[in-house]
């Protein structure tokens, strides 16, 4: 049961995406065809995947009930505390507005409707934050996978609670992977430690891409484990399903290309094993095909539907593509050379060196703040905007003002804030021990999980590539780093528990020594150690370890866990929409209002909307341009409506009336410590009928 419920989320998400993407590409992403095809595809994948789920050792009714209870509790709690981020200030609202457009229109690109303004005009700007103007239309930023999932929630009337449902599915997935690899008894512990971590709460309450990505990546790990656990099963289906689920992570986040690189190398290794007649090699080629199909769909969708986004990411995307090509070539070379490589003998010192390398890398990341200060001199408009934002946040936090600082050197401390120092240490020890075992030819089931977690953790912590305010930057840790650290931590705790229950062989050898002093020393220790060894010691170590895993993330999360952000945005937007005439064409004359509301008014109010361009360094548009555009709108038979942030900005064009006066909470912007509260948010919108 635990195996089945923990792979079903990834298979259901994959099935929905496989059905929804072709419909979107054809312009037919509508409720009836999407639900029919999506439910059928999800059901088929779940049926094939669940039939081959491997038994989770040590998982009984209590462990299954524990994981399910944590998942349900997490989903209910985050649904009650859900955010309402619809006004476009950062990525969640961009995803939400993207999903609203897909749910209501079922096609891309977004129509600019220049004819509603009397035709195209140099003073009109149809793009805004998160939405690019391209070819006379508007193209949303980001990959289409998450909006395709959130559109389902919009159809069901629960767009804003859909993230909580996905978060609950993520808890099931992480618990299932922990049960498979660390043992069933640790599945509820891993699920609970994961669910209470602040970044998981944060991304399970609003429309981010990280939780769907996590479901696919860790679902892929579970499916790979199941595919290899049944050595007598010669079917290509399990390997193909695992590869497909991994590959579709690219459709959710373009960073998925980096995250699945170890899967490419691992599938090549399985193909090499097939050539050597290894027991698991049959899964290699199907996994490669599934991975190629899923990732290929993601790349195609990005190129066709999100081309401006790829151009924006070109500085980081081009090196990533080169790395992907290099890994592919190395994988092919390794597969061809497999018979020769199999004859090589590993040096005896290599396992120990590998273990120490893991410890040194993690220790280096931990002490990095005392050795390095990461900076970037702004070279592009985006860099300058980031530098300005950092300076504003530094002033608010009372820190020295330096817009070139990126704070990336603190990335390992982010992890410690959110999972706790005990988990960080246990995960490091477990990774070192597993590396040593793998290099000795053991613990084969950990090869892919350790590769995915290790590769993504190190690359993410070295270069998070995100605005460094917390909890915002914590989202980078969600798809792999935090669940991976928790997975390794429970493995380390299980190992520690087992060691506590064993008698020290060296002590008993001392007890039989000829030297009287050694024999007396051993005797003085023998009695207490015998009493502590065995079940009692294991219980004490397990109980203390669980407390150390759970207490730090709970303490960090408690400051923000019970304060939802953005509450009131939906009601405020709906009230504003009701005030705008149905036959209006909306001109936004103020810069910040244009960034926040252009797509909101276009998508949720369903009124043609554009910003009026303003001069460099100015916040409002020139009055002559606004009046000229208003005349053109009237000539087109529509009502010109002007929006701004203050009454004085719209008063020159007609009677000013306030259509939004939102008072809400927003995320804190902490740079050098974990967030422990929220900030006040005020948003005003004024309207005039020109």
* Cβ-contact 71, 169 below 8 angstroms: yes
Lowest mean pLDDT among 227-231, 421-425, 580-584: 227-231
Q: Cβ neighbours of residue 92 under 8 Å, at least 6 residues apart?
A: 83, 85, 206, 207, 208
pLDDT for the residue 507:
41
Q: Cβ neighbours of residue 325 under 8 Å, at least 6 residues apart?
A: none
What pLDDT digit, counting tens, does each position of 47-97 carry? 988 887 888 888 889 999 999 999 999 999 999 999 999 999 999 999 999
Does position 509 have pLDDT exceeding 60, yes or no? Answer: no
Task: Provide the pLDDT confidence category of residue 291 given band limits of 50, 70 and 90.
Answer: very high
* Cβ-contact 218, 10 below 8 angstroms: yes
Of these ranges, 46-60, 275-289, 468-482, the one predicted with the greatest mean pLDDT is 468-482
pLDDT for the residue 342:
61
Paired tokens of 313: 């990411």
pLDDT for the residue 442:
86
Average pLDDT over residues 656-667: 96
Does position 235 have pLDDT exceeding 60, yes or no? Answer: yes
Give the single-character DSSP code of 670.
B
234 or 193, which is more confident = 193
What pLDDT digit, counting tens, does each position of 33-42 carry? 999 999 999 9
Task: Provide the pLDDT confidence category of residue 505 given band limits of 50, 70 and 90.
Answer: very low
Does position 279 have pLDDT exceeding 70, yes or no? Answer: no
Q: What percent of the chain has pLDDT over 70?
A: 92
Buried b (16+ CB within 10 A) or exposed e, 4-23: bbbbbbbbbbbbbbbbbbeb
Task: Provide the pLDDT confidence category of residue 133 given band limits of 50, 70 and 90.
Answer: very high
Task: Provide the pLDDT confidence category of residue 313 given band limits of 50, 70 and 90.
Answer: confident
pLDDT for the residue 106:
95
Model pTM above 0.85:
yes
Does position 512 have pLDDT exceeding 60, yes or no? Answer: no
Q: Which residue has the tokens 């095809």?
A: 37
pLDDT for the residue 324:
84
Give the single-character DSSP code of 515.
-
Lowest mean pLDDT among 166-170, 334-338, 500-504, 673-677: 500-504
* Region of residue 118 (left: phi > 0; alpha: psi -120 to 50; beta: else): left
What pLDDT digit, counting tens, does each position of 5-23 carry? 999 999 999 999 999 999 9
For the sheet with 639-644, list strands across it. 124-125, 609-612, 584-588, 639-644, 678-689, 657-667
What pLDDT digit, counting tens, does each position of 134-153 carry? 988 999 999 999 999 999 99
* CA-only gyration radius of the chain, Å: 28
Lowest mean pLDDT among 166-175, 335-344, 424-433, 455-464: 335-344
Q: Which residue has the tokens 């555009």?
A: 629
Using H for helix, E for strand and C for coil, what is the string for 83-96?
CCCCCCCCHHHHHH
Paired tokens of 518: 């050694």
Q: State the DSSP H helix or E strand holding residue 588, giving kind and residue range, or none if neither.
A: strand 584-588
Average pLDDT over residues 266-277: 77
Average pLDDT over residues 317-343: 77
Does position 500 have pLDDT exceeding 70, yes or no? Answer: yes
Does position 344 have pLDDT exceeding 60, yes or no? Answer: yes
Average pLDDT over residues 413-439: 95
Q: What percent of the chain has pLDDT over 90?
A: 74
183 or 272, which is more confident = 183
pLDDT for the residue 508:
40
616 or 262, which is more confident = 262
Alpha helix positions (H), 398-445: 411-419, 421-439
């Amino acid at each position: 049961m635990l195996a089945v419920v923990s792979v079903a989320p990834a298979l259901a998400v994959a099935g929905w995406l496989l059905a929804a993407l072709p419909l979107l590409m054809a312009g037919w992403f509508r409720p009836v065809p999407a639900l029919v095809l999506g439910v059928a595809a999800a059901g088929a994948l779940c049926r094939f995947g669940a039939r081959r789920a491997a038994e989770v050792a040590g998982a009984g009714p209590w462990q299954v009930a524990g994981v399910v209870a944590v998942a349900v509790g997490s989903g209910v709690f985050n649904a009650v505390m859900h955010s309402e981020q619809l006004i476009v200030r950062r990525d969640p609202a961009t995803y939400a507005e993207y999903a609203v457009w897909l749910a209501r229109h079922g096609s891309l690109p977004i129509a600019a409707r220049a004819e509603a303004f009397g035709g195209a005009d140099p003073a009109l700007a149809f793009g805004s934050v998160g939405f690019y103007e391209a070819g006379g239309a508007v193209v949303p930023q980001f990959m289409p996978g998450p909006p395709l999932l959130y559109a389902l929630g919009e159809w069901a009337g629960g767009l804003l609670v859909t993230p909580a449902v996905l978060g609950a599915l993520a808890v099931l997935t992480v618990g299932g992977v922990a049960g498979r690899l660390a043992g069933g008894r640790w599945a509820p512990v891993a699920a609970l430690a994961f669910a209470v971590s602040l970044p998981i709460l944060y991304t399970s309450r609003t429309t981010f891409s990280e939780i769907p990505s996590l479901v696919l990546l860790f679902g892929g790990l579970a499916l790979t484990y199941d595919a290899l656990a049944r050595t007598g099963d010669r079917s290509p289906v399990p390997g193909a399903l695992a590869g497909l689920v991994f590959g579709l992570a690219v459709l959710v986040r373009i960073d998925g290309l980096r995250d699945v690189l170890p899967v490419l190398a691992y599938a090549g290794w399985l193909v090499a094993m097939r050539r050597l007649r290894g027991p698991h090699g049959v899964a290699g080629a199907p996994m490669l095909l599934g991975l190629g199909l899923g990732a290929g769909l993601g790349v195609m969708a990005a190129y066709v539907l999100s081309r401006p986004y790829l151009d924006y990411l070109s500085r980081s995307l081009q090196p990533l593509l080169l790395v992907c090509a290099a890994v592919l070539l190395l994988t092919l070379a390794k597969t061809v050379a497999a018979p020769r490589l199999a004859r090589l003998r590993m040096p005896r010192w290599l396992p120990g060196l590998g273990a120490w390398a893991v410890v040194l890398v993690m220790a280096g990341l931990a002490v990095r703040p005392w050795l390095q200060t990461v900076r970037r001199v702004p070279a592009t408009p985006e860099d300058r905007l980031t530098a300005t934002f950092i300076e504003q946040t530094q002033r608010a936090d009372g820190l020295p003002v330096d817009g070139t600082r990126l704070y990336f050197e603190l990335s390992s401390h982010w992890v410690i804030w959110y999972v706790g120092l005990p988990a960080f240490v246990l995960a490091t020890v477990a990774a070192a021990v597993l590396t040593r075992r793998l290099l000795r030819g053991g613990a084969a089931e950990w090869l892919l999980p350790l590769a995915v977690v290790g590769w993504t953790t190190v690359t993410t912590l070295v270069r998070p590539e995100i605005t460094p305010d917390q909890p915002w930057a914590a989202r980078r840790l969600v798809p792999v780093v935090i669940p991976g650290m928790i997975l390794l931590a429970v493995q380390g705790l299980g190992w520690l528990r087992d060691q506590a229950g064993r008698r020290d062989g060296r002590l008993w050898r001392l007890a039989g020594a000829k030297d009287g002093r050694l024999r007396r020393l051993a005797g003085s220790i023998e009695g207490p150690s015998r009493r502590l060894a065995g079940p009692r010691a294991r219980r004490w170590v397990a109980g203390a370890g669980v407390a150390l895993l759970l207490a730090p993330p709970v303490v960090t999360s408690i400051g923000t866990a019970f304060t939802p952000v953005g509450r009131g945005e939906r009601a405020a937007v709906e009230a504003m929409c009701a005030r705008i005439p149905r036959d209006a064409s909306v001109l936004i004359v103020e810069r910040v209002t244009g960034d926040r509301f252009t797509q909101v008014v276009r998508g949720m109010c369903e009124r043609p909307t554009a910003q009026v361009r303003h001069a460099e360094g100015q916040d409002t548009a020139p009055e002559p341009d606004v009046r000229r555009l208003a005349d053109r709108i009237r000539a087109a038979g529509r009502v010109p409506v002007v929006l701004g942030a203050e009454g004085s900005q719209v008063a020159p064009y007609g009677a000013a009336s306030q259509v939004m006066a939102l008072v809400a909470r927003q995320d804190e912007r902490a740079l050098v410590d974990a967030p422990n509260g929220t900030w006040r948010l005020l948003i005003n919108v004024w309207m005039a009928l020109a």
